Amino acid sequence: MGFKNVFQKRAEDIYGDTSLPRESVSTAEREKAAHDVVDTPIPLLTWRSALMGVFVSMGGFLFGYDTGQISGFLEMKDFLQRYGEKGADGTYSFSNVRSGVIVALLSVGTLMGALVAAYIADRIGRKWSISCWCVIVCVGITVQISSPSGKWYQVAIGRWVAGLGVGALSLLVPMYQAESGPRHIRGSLISTYQLFITLGIFVANCINFGTESRADTGSWRIPMGITYLWAAILGIGMAMFPESPRYDYRHDKVDKAIDTLSKIYGIPRNHRALQLEFEEIKQKYEEEVANGQVTWAQLFGAPTMKYRVAVGVALQALQQLTGANYFFYYGTVVFKGAGISNSYVTQMILGGVNFGTTFLGLYLIEHYGRRRSLIAGALWMFVCFMIFASVGHFSLDREHPENTHSAGVAMVVFACLFILGFASTWGPMVWTIVAELYPSQYRARGMSLATASNWLWNFLLAFFTPFIVSAIDFRFGYVFAGCLFLAAGLVYFAVIEGQGRTLEEIDTMYLMKVKPWKSSKFEFPADPGVIRGSFDKGQASASHVADSGGVLREDGPSTVPDTHNQAKETQV
């Protein structure tokens, strides 16, 4: 049965006889039992969910645009004369250290921003946090664009400040989309963040290509100044969006949370699917109330959380260690071997391939699943890197690449094939996995650590790659190939499939210690005691499972109950 057809039919047409026992616990099976709620078809996509996917993902566009423009600035004549170092022959250039500091300080800022943003997001909400961090991005751009001649360190500091905002947005955007998006398209929705990163890189490359011939500061100040526009669109536009429904529910705004989710799903407030999802949110909230205020110590002491934090940190590190940025670094040399000497054209080609193939990832994540896509993608990139590195080391004339045309063409082909694999799997899907990995009360902190891992490795690779490649040239690719093999193993043994499941169900599967390689076909047992017995011994209760059976039964009212006050009474 096709994915599209599933969400154009009534739930009982999909799941069969509605008279099955009410103690079934998977969302699919629990939906069979309800007779007293609205059961209209669930739209595959609503204009609200589409707008959220496109508009909120401008946070990714900001990151991609800032990343894409700096590589072009370093080669622009005016930028070189103002901030570069003058050689004995009168020409200007950037040393590895100076260029490394300018490029990599953005990553230092993003790492810090990702860590700080978690605390703020839990205090003032996801929505207004996004708007506030857009202001920080604009401050960083102002520091850079106003840098006097010779003050290269002001450019670097400005990139650090802008990085604070970009890093915070890299945490908040996937979090907001995960907490607000319908479960059947949640993976694609979060993956639009990576799609917009690639679009930002591509747009920056195109604008750089259009301004690099200017002889004045407009060559780099024009593309840099355009960043204000993207930040303003996101920052002001977020004021028009609702708060995350899960955040609202946890802060005494139950009716608003129900209203928001019903509009995003495109279904009435008393729809069966909405009732079931809010029953799960209720159980999570009651668990949070019982546990008290979340602390960092509690994060690492909760059942399975150390394991899940480690998985998230490792996945984000390995996303960087796939070596995707390595191709952009070496792109100019390789494309010269294929007869393309303009570095800006090279960047546009690679950026275009990166953006175009990311659309494939939006399809794969909901039709092929997270696990299979990531494993297949890692193995695909492993093969591409082995061939690319071998041809580059043994066949390409690195001093005069135009002399080895065949080797250059072969490397261009495998560079594009690699980007196809990355952009359709590890690029977008890791953000989705990390957004689904943690329960509600720990999501901000857990995601902040995982995102900080991404930026830490981004910084290390950005700063040290020039030194490493100057020593071992294309053999650096073998290091990335080894990391890709490790990445495939990590996904197979550690990542649970989340396709088609609610965030609360995924949490329960981790708590039950479901074998990741069996998770795609896992079905929840009908007996509540089986689930409760699968948790760690000594835990009085666990997320998603209430003392009286919680979501394992469905005996509540026909509409979504106001459970928030009940939870507060439990706390008292």
Percent of the chain with pLDDT over 90: 17
Give one DSSP letter per residue of 423-492, joined into a string. IIIIHHHHHHHHHHSS-HHHHHHHHHHHHHHHHHHHHHHHHHHHHHHHHHGGGHHHHHHHHHHHHHHHHH
CA distance 141 to 139: 5
For the segment 214-223, the average pLDDT, to the nearest whole number, is 89
Give me the sign of the Cα torsion angle 221, 227, 229, 232: negative
pLDDT at 141: 94
Higher pLDDT, 70 or 203: 203
Which of 73-77, 292-296, 408-412, 508-512 bottoms out in mean pLDDT, i.e. has the lowest? Answer: 292-296
Do 368 and 467 form a contact (C-beta atoms < 8 A)?
no
pLDDT at 228: 93
Of the candidates 260, 265, 228, the one whose C-alpha atom is nearest the C-alpha of residue 246 is: 260
Confidence of residue 539 (pLDDT cuts 50, 70, 90): very low
Percent of the chain with pLDDT over 70: 82
CA distance 69 to 223: 7
pLDDT at 477 over 50: yes
Which residues touch 291 (CB under 8 Å, ≥6 apart)? 298, 302, 441
Of the candidates 175, 187, 35, the one whose C-alpha atom is nearest the C-alpha of residue 501 is: 187
Instruction: Give this prediction's pTM.
Output: 0.74
Give me the sign of the Cα torsion angle 343, 348, 349, 351: positive
Do 197 and 93 form a contact (C-beta atoms < 8 A)?
no
Of the candidates 486, 516, 519, the one whose C-alpha atom is nearest the C-alpha of residue 501 is: 519
Phi first, then psi: give them for residue 423, nearest 5 degrees: -65, -25
pLDDT at 560: 39
Confidence of residue 1 (pLDDT cuts 50, 70, 90): very low
Confidence of residue 545 (pLDDT cuts 50, 70, 90): very low
Higher pLDDT, 373 or 182: 373
Q: For 42-81, what is each residue's pLDDT tens digit?
A: 777 788 888 877 888 888 888 888 877 887 787 788 888 8
Confidence of residue 551 (pLDDT cuts 50, 70, 90): very low
CA distance 226 to 211: 12
Higher pLDDT, 31 or 76: 76
pLDDT at 296 over 50: yes
Higher pLDDT, 35 or 506: 506
CA distance 212 to 343: 11
Q: For 187-202, what is each residue's pLDDT tens digit?
A: 777 788 888 888 998 8
Radius of gyration of the chain (CA): 25
Which of 83-97, 119-133, 163-177, 218-232 bottoms out in mean pLDDT, i.e. has the lowest? Answer: 83-97
For the segment 173-195, the average pLDDT, to the nearest whole number, is 81
Q: Is 134 exposed, middle or buried (0-12, 13-18, 19+ CB in 10 A)?
A: buried
Structural domains in the chain, CATH included, are 47-241+303-494 (1.20.1250.20)
* Cα-based angle 360, 453, 120 (whole degrees, multiple of 5): 100
The mean pLDDT value of the chain amounts to: 78
pLDDT at 3 over 80: no
Confidence of residue 6 (pLDDT cuts 50, 70, 90): very low
pLDDT at 291: 67
pLDDT at 528: 53
Hey, which residues does 283 pair with through a beta bridge? none
Q: For 391-428, what is each residue's pLDDT tens digit?
A: 888 887 777 777 777 887 888 888 889 999 999 999 88
Higher pLDDT, 54 or 543: 54
pLDDT at 279: 77
Q: For 339-365, what is each residue's pLDDT tens digit?
A: 666 777 877 888 888 888 888 888 888
Confidence of residue 542 (pLDDT cuts 50, 70, 90): very low
For the segment 481-502, the average pLDDT, to the nearest whole number, is 91
